[in-house]
A = this chain, B = another copy of it.
Amino acid sequence: MALPAPVQRLIAELTKLPGVGEKTATRYVLFWLQRSPNAMKDLADRLADAAGSVRPCLVCGYVAEAERCGFCEDPARDRATVCVVESVADVLAIERVGEYRGLYHVLGGVLSALRGVGPDHLRVAGLLDRVAGGEVREVILATGADAEGETTALYLARALGDRGVRVTRPATGIPMGSSIEFLDAVTLMRALRGRKEIGP
């Protein structure tokens, strides 16, 4: 006797989530079923609410409730600096630091020959348009330090090369708290090449 069909369909939908297999999805659904008859309805309403009220910002691709997101509308943010990231999650990570005061540009992924992701699948044209607007002075290419992130940064650096903006990339090196012994060779090489003088 399997679970009723509507429950199975729900489980199947949940297995699409990153890192969620059938076992975890089933656990989630049984938890909701057990909690209360209305717990699932509540969650359904929350989901519908969120789905109906947010969309990608037309300028930068971050999550917005109107045409533009809170960053793009915030007069306190430095409009001369744009930090290019792969995903909304990256924006959240950078905001957690509380250091950066500029705007963002969410690409929505990285270039990947393997997965057939080209510039047209990402918010690349939008980035070039923003830079063409003239207000931007610096573009920080904060894509990942893996092969695809590096390729994407290189591609964007070239595309932005002749537009009179400063193009930068966050420093690579030894992450805090790690011992030299267990570092991979590439990180260690880059850390050594990028070494800096320290005070007297």
Q: How far is the CA of A31 from the CA of B3 in the complex (A)?
A: 26
Contacting residues of chain A (1-51) with chain B, CB-CB under 8 angstroms: 1-4, 6-7, 9-10, 13-14, 16-20, 24, 26-35, 37-51
Q: Quick one: copies of this chain in the complex?
A: 2
* Contacting residue for A49 out of B6, B17, B88, CB 8 A: B6
Main secondary structure of the interface of A (DSSP, over half): helix
Shortest CB-to-CB span from A54 to chain B, Å, is 5
Given A34-B87, A65-B4, verify A51-B46 contact (CB < 8 Å): no
A144 at the interface (CB under 8 A from B): no
A interface residues with partner B (beta carbon < 8 Å): 1-4, 6-7, 9-10, 13-14, 16-20, 24, 26-35, 37-55, 62-65, 69-71, 74, 87-89, 92, 95, 108
